[in-house]
């Protein structure tokens, strides 16, 4: 019997958080090894575990997988969260790609100066409310189902809920004017595996703090934007 997936990353969100979300949504238990020192990172490099010299890295089914999108695609396919046919998979990829674009505005937020954070917060809310949330609001309204693709829970739903909650951390009432997304958030949050992941004590990581930022900078010698894919 295969062991639990093992995740190698920092004790914080970053690119690994979406992987945690998807594994949790699938009801899969996983282990984590947190990178806290440069020596740990160099050991992974020297051991050949990081194909492109980057983290996240996930050990799963005998593989040492890197590249976040590849890891997520594998997990989604393995646990039946990737649609029932090629067309549904294409839609899931499209929606996940859009959500990734929105998340990209948030990923580097913890590493910005206080002045730049204020500016970027406004950008995040503006992009969410003028470009991304209206698109998903329309998809849900036109589709008329509980989920984004087909009538089944998928990776696209998990990813969108993660993004919604991240934007709400910047502006709590950001979903005002988006009734479909409000209902979507409530539905997906009530799915048992998701509900469990949202409860205190789960492996979901909190909003990145100064300690997380300092650890990433120290381990990666300040080259976070170059070393995390």
Q: What percent of the chain has pLDDT over 90?
A: 92
* pLDDT exceeds 80 at position 57: yes
Spell out the domains of the chain, with CATH numbers in brackets.
Answer: 6-79+198-220 (3.40.30.10), 86-190 (1.20.1050.10)
pLDDT in tens, 4-49: 999 999 999 999 999 999 999 999 999 999 999 999 999 999 999 9
Contact partners, residue 86, CB within 8 Å, separation at least 6 = none
- pLDDT at position 3 is 87
In angstroms, the CA 184 to CA 188 distance is 6
| Mean pLDDT of the 216-222 span | 86
DSSP 132: I
* pLDDT exceeds 50 at position 1: no
Strand partners, 7: 32, 58
* Predicted confidence band of residue 191 (pLDDT cuts 50, 70, 90): very high
Which residue is it, tokens 């087909």? 150
Average pLDDT, the chain: 93
Q: Which of 70, 206, 205, 98 is nearest to 156 (CA)?
A: 98
Q: Which of 202, 207, 171, 165 is nearest to 185 (CA)?
A: 165
In angstroms, the CA 81 to CA 20 distance is 14
Terminal CA-to-CA distance of the chain, rounded, Å? 31
Q: Which of 81, 77, 79, 45 is nearest to 64 (CA)?
A: 45
pLDDT in tens, 68-103: 999 999 999 999 999 999 999 999 999 999 999 999
Q: Tell me the C-alpha to C-alpha distance, in Å, between residue 85 and each of 69, 91, 122, 152.
A: 19, 10, 39, 12
- pLDDT at position 159 is 98
DSSP 5: -
């Amino acid at each position: 019997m295969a062991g639990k997936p093992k995740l190698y990353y920092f004790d914080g969100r970053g690119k690994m958080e979406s992987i945690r979300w998807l594994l949790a949504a699938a009801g899969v238990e996983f282990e984590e090894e947190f990178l806290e020192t440069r020596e740990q990172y160099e050991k992974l490099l020297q051991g050949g575990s990081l194909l492109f010299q980057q983290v996240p890295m996930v050990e799963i089914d005998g593989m040492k997988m890197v590249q976040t999108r590849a890891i997520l695609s594998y997990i989604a396919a393995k646990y039946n969260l990737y649609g029932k046919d090629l067309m549904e998979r294409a839609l899931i990829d499209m929606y996940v790609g859009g959500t990734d674009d929105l998340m990209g505005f948030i990923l580097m937020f913890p590493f910005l100066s206080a002045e730049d954070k204020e500016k970027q917060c406004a950008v995040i809310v503006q992009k969410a409310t003028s470009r991304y949330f209206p698109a998903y609001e329309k998809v849900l309204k036109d589709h008329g189902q509980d989920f984004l693709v087909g009538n089944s829970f998928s990776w696209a739903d998990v990813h969108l809920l993660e993004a919604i909650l991240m934007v709400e951390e910047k502006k709590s009432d950001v979903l005002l004017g988006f009734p479909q997304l409000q209902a979507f958030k409530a539905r997906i949050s009530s799915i048992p595996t998701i509900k469990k992941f949202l409860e205190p004590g789960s492996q979901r990581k909190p909003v990145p703090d100064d300690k997380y930022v300092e650890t990433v900078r120290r381990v990666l010698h300040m080259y976070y934007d170059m070393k995390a894919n």
